Amino acid sequence: MELLGKRIVLGVTGGIAAYKAAELVRLLGKQGAEMQVAMTEGATHFVTATTFQALSGKPVYLDQWDARMPNAMAHIDLSRQADLILVAPASADFLARIAHGLADDLLATMVLARDCPLLVAPAMNRQMWEHPATRRNAAQLVADGVTLFGPAAGEQACGEVGLGRMLEPEALCEAVIGFFQPKVLAGRRIVMTAGPTFEAIDPVRGITNSSSGKMAYGLARACEQAGAEVTLVSGPVAVAVPAGCTRVSVKSALEMREAVFAALPGADVFIGVAAVADYRPVNSAEHKIKKSGAEMSITLTPNPDILADVAGLPNPPFCVGFAAESRNLDEYAEGKRKAKKLSLIVGNLVQDGLGGDDNEV
């Protein structure tokens, strides 16, 4: 319920992406937002007002002369009650009208009369988005303080491929949640490791652990929403990359170390969340080792300590470590912090949720 108590007006304009706005209403409402929908006449050709009324639990506003509001001033009353107005999809026509201050329907009038932030998610054919007039209108809106989400690139309803798709509802929901977060990390670059490493014994077997990556990915999401530029150097996990974060995929500890140092220049903070294997096989078999009745031994060699190597640089970033222990948490975590010369360490007991959806630190 990250949007609990927030009042959001969703404006829907004419375009095939209007059907996605229905899912967006559901997702934002699920996060606790109080939703009010206003549609342009063009939007009603793609989705009915009944759909949005059912999902939002409120009547949908279509007409600037709607008498349901006191004094028949829906354009003022709706916008002044809102914490933000989000227009998704925002057509090329709508961008042009609000860039020039037109107020020829309820939604455009509401945008002009607002005293809350305006967010728009453009959606149109790629050539319409690339047209100089649209680019000028988009630039003017940004200069006026409007936040643009997208558009995304991909296959479009017309069959063409390129920029112009509306961001998916899940991405827009994340963007709205992030919009409300204080930008305490604005201008900061953060490099973070995530997940387990996989140290190959042969092409199909290896040494790894039960780290899911969920802790690191949740932390990356929070840092990005706080305004940071986040690079995730991640071992093999099945977790979606948080919106706005850059993921660099690796497998072994050696690959992770190389990727970390490649991403490190200019970083303000380094957070070592990954559960890096302490050891790796000295030799990895080129082909799958066949099963036999004989005993087999594997010689292991220590992996590099990525966190200690970063903290030991002449001018290191602010270094944060993680200590996952099964006992004596305070003692072992503080010992690790001192030994690696870290600015901060986060400790947790593995029995409190390693690999799960919930954890305690």
Residues taking part in catalysis: 158
List Cβ neighbours of 328 (8 Å cut-off, separation of 6 or more).
none
List Cβ neighbours of 12 (8 Å cut-off, separation of 6 or more).
18, 21, 37, 38, 39, 40, 43, 47, 52, 87, 88, 89
Structure-token pair, residue 38? 């206003």
Q: How far apart are CA 241 and CA 237, in angstroms?
A: 10
- The DSSP bridge partners found for residue 189 are 229
- Other residues' Cβ atoms within 10 Å of the Cβ of residue 57: 12
Structure-token pair, residue 269? 């903070």
- CA atoms 67, 73, 75, 80: torsion sign: negative
**Angle, alpha carbons 312-315-319 (nearest 5°):** 60
Whether omega before 89 lies within 30 degrees of 0, making that bond cis, reads yes
DSSP H stretches of helix in 264-328? 306-311
Structure-token pair, residue 59? 């009547």
Q: How far apart are CA 51 and CA 44, in angstroms?
A: 10
Phi-psi region of 223 (alpha: psi -120 to 50; beta: other; left: phi over 0): alpha
Q: Beta strand 279-281 with 199-200: parallel, antiparallel or unpaired? A: unpaired
Q: Burial level of 159, CB count in 10 A (0-12/13-18/19+)?
A: exposed
At 159, the amino acid letter reads: G
**Angle, alpha carbons 165-120-37 (nearest 5°):** 105
Residues 280, 234 contacting (CB under 8 angstroms): no
User: What's the farthest any 2 CA atoms get from each other in the chain?
Assistant: 89
Three-state secondary-structure class, residue 140? helix
